[in-house]
Amino acid sequence: MKMETELLSSPHHVDGDVARWRGDFPVLRETVRGKPLIYLDNAATTHKPVSVIEAEAAFYRHANSNVHRGVHTLSLRATDQYEEAREKVRRFINAASAKEIVFVRGATEAINLVAQCFGRPRLTELDNIIVSAMEHHSNIVPWQMVCGQTGAELRVAPVNDAGELDIEMLGRLIGPRTKLVAITHLSNALGSITPVKDIVEIAHAHQVPVLLDGAQAIAHLEVDVNALGCDFYAFSGHKIYAPTGIGVLYGKQAWLDAMPPYQGGGDMISSVTFGETLYNDLPYKFEAGTPNIAGAIGLGHALDYLTSIGIAAIATHERDLLAYATGLANGIRGLKIIGTAREKASILSFTLEGVHPHDVGTILDHDGIAIRAGHHCAMPIMQRFGLASTARASFSLYNTRAEVDALMAGIAKVQEMFQR
């Protein structure tokens, strides 16, 4: 499986659509240690197409101003672009109203917002929150914090040896004092897709609302919050080809209306005196201070870009890559795939006998191949499988089978080095 540089640089060796998509990402023309960059760390963050990069730059060149309440031209221009981005998010996830779209820094802040504004006022020492064993720390720690503040219990739904959620056990954990179910849509450590529509139906049958952590899912699966019926959905822009420091909390309007604000300051108020503050309407009640205006505009353009391709087309390509990579990986002696759920997307986590994952990642980097090695901010699921860490390759729309071949050749090289 010798890697040929020409295979990676020539569009004649990849699907025409993928070759065109690759041309939209300037960073893919970079070299690492003299080798063409092979970027397989998309679960950590995705690269940005030219349209997103240019949209951010254009804002600073032509519209840089603070949003809302300004009457001068640049402020009006910035406000229009910022609110247009909110509408693009609404359409992309099929929310009922732009009032249900709150801009935050990322999925982590979105989940913390729900924990403190929805969870904390409703929880007592008699109540509980349910998560799963394969959550990212961002969907564990905020609930631990709020349980510590209120005395509530954190219940954990188990996963099986394939990394699939035990949905029957999750149903048994729900009781009359359950206040929220908070579950990942797509595991960042395993690639497992959870049956979120079924989860929502089970929880709602007990009048329990559901938050879905969509940080991984948003770039790989079609997300329709109306069809899913979830009460909250959180995702980060940087995992969907948008800038860092911007994310979204979707919340049903009835819940958001009933929640107190997360932070105090400018723009989240309608009136302030020293005796009383009246809060702004949705969604601004939760957007204190100057927002990441350029990031929101960049997110809107990222969604435009994905819409122009179609999530279904992207998912088909990524399923092919994952199936191809899985087949090759299963043929490597000493390699064990961690996470073999029947429903998976985009992620190949593995261990290599006798080699620490960090060594795998370091050696692959010498061939220009970027993967992630570690616990992936999901230590409980690592412990579930008796591991401290894994090596993780994660795929996106711009990856190719040739890059998968290079990854497997690199793994073979790692094994040769450690067998000497």
CB-based contacts of 259, cutoff 8 Å, min separation 6: 117, 118, 121, 251, 286
* CA atoms of 68 and 80, how far apart (whole Å): 9
CB-based contacts of 211, cutoff 8 Å, min separation 6: 111, 114, 180, 181, 182, 183, 230, 231, 232, 233, 234
Residues linked to residue 182 through DSSP beta bridges, in sequence order: 211
Q: Which phi and psi (to 5°) does residue 247 adopt?
A: -160, -175
Neighbours of 212 (CB within 10 A): 27
Identify the helix (H) or strand (E) that includes residue 382.
helix 379-384
* CA atoms of 193 and 221, how far apart (whole Å): 9
64 burial type by CB count under 10 A (0-12 exposed, 13-18 middle, 19+ buried): middle
Neighbours of 28 (CB within 10 A): 18
Beta strands in 42-141 (DSSP E): 101-104, 128-132
195 burial type by CB count under 10 A (0-12 exposed, 13-18 middle, 19+ buried): middle
Residues linked to residue 348 through DSSP beta bridges, in sequence order: 393
What is the dihedral angle through the alpha carbons of 304, 307, 313, 314, rounded to the nearest 10 degrees? 40
* Residue 258: closest CA among 209, 293, 215, 214: 209
**Is residue 195 left, alpha or beta, with left meaning phi > 0 and alpha meaning psi from -120 to 50?**
beta
Question: CA-CA distances (angstroms) from residue 351 to 40, 224, 357, 387?
Answer: 16, 35, 7, 9
| DSSP state string for 11-35 | GGGS-HHHHHHHTT-GGGG-EETTE
- Residues with catalytic annotation? 377
* CA atoms of 334 and 326, how far apart (whole Å): 14
